[in-house]
Every structure is written in C-alpha cells, then in structure tokens.
Structure 1
Amino acid sequence: MIEDIEAGKINCVVTKDLSRLGRNYILTGQYTELYFPSRNVRYIAINDGVDSAKGESEIAPFKNIINEWVARDTSRKVKSAMKVKFADGAHYAAYAPLGYRKHPGIKGKLLIDEDTRWIIEKIFDLAYHGMGAAKITKTLIEEQVPTPAWLNFQRYGTFAHIFEGQPESKRYFGTIAQVKKLLKDEVYIGNSLHNKQSTVSFKSKKKVRKPKANGIV
C-alpha cells in the first residue's frame, strides 16, 4: 500500500476502525497525522468517525493509545494461558514431530505415529550401533528415507512449493544437520520443550532465542 501511495496510485485509505490501521499508537499517529497528510492521502476510520477531509480528530490519539493497551493486555493473557498449557506438557505447533501425530480429539496431545515411527527408530538404532551423523545421513539417502516435509506434503498437501520443479532426491534426507537435529531432540525421550524463543515484544514479530534456563521442560 505504501508503495502504491508513493507511486501516486492511492489518494484515500479506509479502514473499519483505527485499530485496523495499527495498534502501535506512535506509528499509527505518524501515519494519520504526518505521512498521509504529506502525501495528500485522505484517511477514513468508519466506526471511529475519523475522516481527515473533515479536519483532525481530537479523540483519535486517545483511541490509538487504548488500542495499543488492548493489544498489550491480550498478548499478556495469551502468554499466560500458553505457559499453563506448556507446564502440562501440551505440544502446540503446526505439525507433530516426525514419528508422532496429533491426537484427533485432544489438543496439545501427541500420539506415536505407527506409519513413521520406523524412521526415528532406525536413526537412533544406527546411532546406538556407532554410526555418526554423516554415515547415518548417507544410509538414509541410499535407502531413500523420506523427510518430514515430504511426508507432510503426501498427507496434507503442504510444502508443495519446496518440491515444485525439484529433483526426486529433494524428498529424502539429504543433510547431516537434519539427522543431528533429530538426535538432539528431547521429544524422543518423552520431554516436551517450550519457551525456547519468543518475540521481541507484542509490537514486533522478530524472534529471539531465550536462555535454556528460561525454558519449560
């Protein structure tokens, strides 16, 4: 949208209310009070009765502050609820780890996946008998053992973009890093690890790694 405004393609921005434009009151204010006027862009927030063509809204800055407070409070409550679930060992992710599947009726609960458990058992068996990650990877490649991404694509149709136009070898384990990651994953000794990373704040989606001491096991 900003690119189109700079190109002169947009002269009016309409949102349902001010919170749809943004919940960071500083940035939202910069757009409504500085950026849009400097580009001759009319701004309308329907439910809040804001229309820059009718002059500045004295209540808008206060509504922006309230919108940010609501976002901050919601973020705090969500994090608190998730910590309780993590403490109970619940697993929340887009996909279950390789060798597991999500319980169809209980959120956060994992079950052993009888269709893929053999892959995990094979990797750990090879390691137990003295193979390093490099040799294990070579064995998996030779035996064309499928990767988690390929299995998910086969089951759910996801990750199609990863395999489009790629050679068949893309479907199988091909890196030492993949094997090392599985061998180090505590989920395979029954542990559920959480709080390994978080966002900088509710205002930023940037991920940051957290000290292991702050994790929940």
Structure 2
Amino acid sequence: MSMKAAIYCRLSVEDEDRGSSKCISESIQNQQLLLLDYAKKHDYELFAIYVDEDYSGLDSSRPAFVRMLADAQAGYFQVILCKTQSRFTRDMELVERYLHHLFPLWGIRFIGIVDGVDTAERHNKKARQITGLINEWYCEDLSDNIRAVFQKKMQDGQFIGSFACYGYKKDPTDHHRLVIDEPAAQIVQRIYQLYLSGTGVTSIARQLTTEQIPPPSIYKQMQGLKFHSPRSSVHWSVSTIKNILKNPTYTGTLVQGKEKKLSYKSKKMIHLPPECWIRIPGTHPAIISEEDFQTVQNQLQLKRRKKFPKKDAHILSLSHSIHCK
C-alpha cells in the first residue's frame, strides 16, 4: 500500500525579483510540477497540495503551513514533500521543533528533494541543521539589506510609506514624492486656523463631524485607496485632530523612521524617540507655515504641562532608554 504525501509550496519577497530567472524557477507552478513528478516516481499517493504565496519563511502563522501541520498531526498523511528545506521554513527553531522533534513523534517523513533533506536518514540531521542555519542567516542578511535600502531612501528625502498623510497624496509620476491633495489640504488648514483662534480639539472634532466632512480614514477609502483601519468611523476623533496638529509633514518636512522591527524574525514594531527620527526639510510643498506650526506646538505643550505636570518628565526619562539602532 502506497504512503500518502502532502506537497508544500511557498514563494515570498525573499525570492528576490519576481521576473528573474531564479524566481521563475522557484515559482509555485514549477514547485508543484517538480514535487508532483517526484511523488509519482516514488509511488506516493497525493493527499493535498498546500500553498502559501507572499509569506516569509520565518512566518510560523502562514495559513496553508498551519493547516498542513494540523493535518500532519491528525495523521492524514505520512510524508511532506518540499522543493527545499527553505520552502518549509527559514527559521532554525522551526527546523528543530518539527523536523527533529514533532515529525518523528507524528510518524511524518520530511523530504526536501533538491537539497537532499530526508528525516528518514539519521546521518542527514547535521546537514539539515547546517542548512537551517544558512537559511536563517540569509533572512537576517536580507533584512539588513532591505533596512539599509530604506534608510538610504529616507535620508535622500524619499517617501517610503504605503499611504500619504491626510492633506497629501503620492505624486502619480513618482510615488516617493508627496504632492498636495487640495480638498483635504483645505481641511488641514482650517483645523490649524480654528486651533490658533482658540477653538479646542474636542470642539474642532465635533464641528467637522457635524458638517459631515469625511475623516482621514474614510476619505482615503473614498479616493479608492485600499486603506483599512479597525478604528474607521464617520466621526472625527480628538486623537485625529491632535495627530494632524502635531504632524511636521505639513510644513514641508518629511519625518520618517519613527519605528523599527524588534528583530528580523518578529513583526512587532517598537517606537523610537524623536532624536532617532529622520527629518528632511523641503521635500514637498508646505500646507502650514513653520511659524504657525511652532505656535501650535507651543500651545499643545503648554496645555499638556498643565494637565500632566509630572507625567512628562517620567516619559522623557523612559524615551532616552530606547536606542535608535
């Protein structure tokens, strides 16, 4: 009786340029053809093909990956076929957890047909561990390279965000440059004028909501942008007004690099203190004058000091404990 096998395929940004010859050889279709041919030649009965596209090999929550592991534990098949071990994972911790611990307990044999990985061969273990380390080092180097590229773009005054802040839009001819979005820019100017004339942030939010002016999240969706926010609402919030009043982008200064990943293996972001931010003046047209912006900052700071006289000092001391790099 032939053994049942599962085929797992994965492709992600790690595989470099999607149009390159290397990437074409790594394509989902080519992986499937190669693995189906292998299964046929070795008389494996195909149980299912699991595919994750646009997921990193460091991501342990890939949908098809998680589903395959659950099916493996349930005993639906006895063999997992991948083109290489790196298609399964680039995380050394996952290599140890599954290939060397759980798969033997579940009665699962893992085969990487191109790099010769086979958990049925005991002498193969050290090679698998070395391969796992190399794959993880590759991800770390790739992460460092991507970070360096983004750092250079930010230092050159190029916008690298997914969405422009309210009042701006990406230049259609250069997505790394911001241009004024006139309807939204007029609302930004009005918010500053109202605040400078003595209107409080709560009153400003209430007034814009009463006038049924779409807040930033709704406005972006109305412009056809694929912007999704769990807090999307037709109401203007106090925090939205404050964020607009505190945003130096409106003076023509691009401020980026406010946060960074905890590590190349984690999706968690950590906020950086202001002294670590990358500020490049004059990268795009200003909506608010520098003078008006500074006046607003002084007023906001004065109100905050009156409200939280001791809290600011504590926050300031904590901010200096976070490092930029």
**Structure 1 match to 2:26:** none
Q: Deviations over 1:152-205 (max 9, x none)?
A: 222226357969xxxxxx653331111111111111112211221111110111
**Cα 1:129/1:27, change in 2 over 3 Å:** same
Work out the percentage of aligned pairs sharing the same amino acid. Answer: 29
Report the CA distance between 1:100 and its aligned residue. Answer: 0.5
Q: What's the counterpart of residue 211 of structure 1?
A: 273
Cross-structure match for 2:167: 99
The gaps in structure 2 that reach 5 residues or longer are 1-65, 280-325
Q: Which amino acid aligns with 2:119?
A: S
Deviations 1:59-114, CA, capped at 9 Å, x for gaps: 21111111111111111111111111111221112211111110112231100112
- The 3 A distance-change label for structure 1 pair 148 and 9 is farther
1:19 is aligned to 2:86: yes
Contact 1:103 1:110 in 2 (8 A): yes
**Alignment root-mean-square deviation, CA:** 2.3
Shift of 1:54: 4.7
Match of 1:137 in 2: 205
Q: Which residue in 1 is equivalent to 2:60?
A: none
Cα displacement (A) at 1:7: 3.9
Whose relative contact order is higher, 1 or 2, with alpha carbons under 8 Å and at least 6 apart?
1
Q: Where do 1:9-158 residues align within 5 Å? A: 9=76, 11-55=78-122, 57=124, 58-156=126-224, 158=226
CA distance in 2 between partners of 1:63 and 1:82 (Å):
29
Comparing 45-54 with 131-140, greater Cα deviation is found at 45-54
Any conservation in 1 of the 2:111–2:118 contact (CA below 8 Å)? yes
Task: Decide whether the 8 Å contact of 1:91 with 1:192 is kept in 2.
Answer: yes
2:214 and 2:202 mapped to 1: Cα distance? Answer: 17
- 2:259 is aligned with 1:191: no
Offset of 1:51 from its aligned partner? Answer: 2.7
Contact 2:164/2:178, CA 8 A, preserved across alignment:
yes
- The change in CA–CA distance for 1:160 and 1:184 in structure 2 (over 3 A counts) is closer
How many residue pairs match? The answer is 211
Q: Does structure 1 conserve the Cα–Cα contact (< 8 Å) formed by 2:150 and 2:160? A: no
State the distance in 2 between where 1:90 and 1:109 align: 6
* Secondary structure in 1 matching 2:268: strand
User: Cα 1:14–1:147, aligned 2, differ >3 Å: closer, same or farther?
Assistant: farther
Deviations 1:119-146 (A, max 9, x none): 2122112112111110100101110111
Tell me how far apart the structure 1 counterparts of residues 229 and 198 of structure 2 sit (CA, whole Å). Answer: 36
Gaps of 5+ in 1: 164-169
| TM-score scaled by length of structure 2 | 0.59
- TM-aligned CA distance change 1:148 to 1:8, over 3 Å: farther
Answer whether contact 2:110 2:117 (CA < 8 A) is retained: yes
Higher alpha-carbon deviation: 29-38 or 55-64: 55-64
Aligned-partner SS, 1:123? helix
